[in-house]
Amino acid sequence: MPTYGSTVRSPLTALCPDLRTALTRVGYNAGNLLEVLGTEAHSALGRAESVPVRRIARSAGELGTLVRLFLLGDALAEQDVAAALAPVAVADAVAAGLLTSAGDQVRAALDLRPLDTGAGTRWVLSDLDDSMHRRTLTEDHVLGVGHASLSLLRATPTAAVGSVLDLGTGCGVQAVHAATYARSVTATDVNPRALWLAEATAALNELELELIAGSWFDPVAGRRFDQVVANPPFVVGPARIEHTYRDSGLALDGASELVISRTPDLLAPGGTASVLAAWVHTEGTDWRQRVASWLPAHGIDAWIVQRDIADPALYVGTWLRDAGLDPRSAAAQDRAEDWLTALEDAGVTGIGFGFVYLRAIDGPTEVLAEDLTHGFDDPLGAEALAHFERSAWLRAVAADPAVAWRSRYRVDPATALERVYLPGDEGWEQRVTRLHRGDGPRWQHEVDETTVSLLAGMRPDGLPLYELIELLALSQGFDEVNTEFAEAALGVVTGLVRHGLVHPV
């Protein structure tokens, strides 16, 4: 293993310049993969269905050889692999741990796949999973680019920053992504094999990463970062470690609690964090209160987004299959029994999953925890930063309501008005009036006709809010604006601002 932080490199890392040359020459990139395979076969690849992919790859030349080698796990003739990987020698690739050989047949020892994270193709090295061939994953297995990794990639802000910490980097995919928008990236992991692969992934993409071995926060004690990204081993279950990529050794949601409670200490002033996390639901306890209790009393603006809730049986079954276990086997059933018993004993009724966004502020901690379980297409990364900007404005309003009263507003162009009519005794009757945000998280707010009229008067060059409310009060027969009416209107406006349907100018 290399000594991280020094100039010593592993044989796999040393191989990467020539490997990059080969991948570039053959056109082993995300765009070509989709073009050559076509939509249907590319979708089959995502479903771990090898036959449609193999049928096309057989006639796709050297690119097809690399697809079969690294994505399907096929055993191929050494001469074909040598041609596709030139100038990399097969013997050197075997010695470096990239390939294995038996006679004149060669197989991949690692997964190597192209990924476009928004800045062109990046190549990511990881351990082979069981998607194409049955494998039992080892304790130090390094997961590739799975659904959780992709979710965090899409949910992470990419505005330019100085320094980023990828806490628990795994194969390095989050760190590679961060290198596109940060001046410096530090990545840590407790698993030496993960750092071995992350170092090679960085070299393959010609990126400079600071890689540090160590557990949790120890490697970066005393340091501060402009942004922290974390996909920790957040799986909820008994306090054990079977696979370091998912198991923390902490009971239930202890890993999420640890990361969320300690990450604020790593943030520079104004710094942000994006964390994948899971939390338990129990009878009589609001999940929002549980997660909020993990945060310090001062210095953090937190946006906690619950994207899904799984019942214990579905949750356990999903993670057992993730580890390559057949749920019909005796071993898997014994493990499921132990796991479900532990959850039942703890009173767990469900497991929530989502994102925790943090920003370092100078003031009392504020927490907004909300469900976002409906479908939407836009990534949350940009939305998180916009949320924090809106939150800062709302804090200013809380300190001085005159900020809101004297502001002018504009309705977001993506905000739509919907009226729902249902059949009644005298024909169609309006039952619901909603405002829809057509982008981002696609928030919806039910509103009344007074709110509709108020928003109709909002223009960047129009009247301040208080004057709009005065006109609205006059139109409804009031001689003057009473406090109750004004405060109700302000409450509606600030709620719409919080979700980005209306913006102060």
The pLDDT tens digits of the residues spanning 478-494 come to 767 778 888 888 999 99
Least confident stretch, 312-326, 392-406, 491-505: 312-326
CA distance 176 to 123: 9
Q: Which residue has the tokens 């991949």?
A: 108
Q: Tell me the mean pLDDT in the region 450-477.
A: 89
CA distance 343 to 362: 38
Question: What Å distances lie between residue 210 and 180, 215, 315, 329, 446, CA to CA?
Answer: 15, 16, 35, 42, 49
Closest to 280 in 3D by CA, of 228, 222, 343, 218:
343
Question: What band does 7 get if pLDDT is binned at 50, 70 and 90?
Answer: very low
**Is the entire prediction scored with pTM above 0.75?**
yes
Question: What band does 246 get if pLDDT is binned at 50, 70 and 90?
Answer: low
Question: What Å distances lie between residue 438 and 382, 414, 432, 498, CA to CA?
Answer: 15, 5, 18, 15
pLDDT in tens, 126-146: 998 765 555 556 778 888 888
Indicate whether 5 pLDDT > 50.
no
Indicate whether 476 pLDDT > 80.
no
**Average per-residue pLDDT for the chain:** 90
- Going from the N-terminus, what domains does the chain have, and what CATH number goes with each? 11-114 (no CATH), 147-309+350-396 (3.40.50.150), 400-504 (3.90.930)
Question: What band does 4 get if pLDDT is binned at 50, 70 and 90?
Answer: very low
What percentage of residues in the chain have a pLDDT greater than 70? Answer: 94
pLDDT value for 366? 96
pLDDT value for 184? 97
Work out whether strand 161-167 and strand 225-230 pair parallel, antiparallel, or are unpaired: parallel
pLDDT in tens, 418-441: 999 999 888 899 899 999 999 999
Cis bond before residue 52 (omega within 30° of 0): no
Give 297-317 as a DSSP string.
SEEEEEEEEEEEEE-HHHHHH
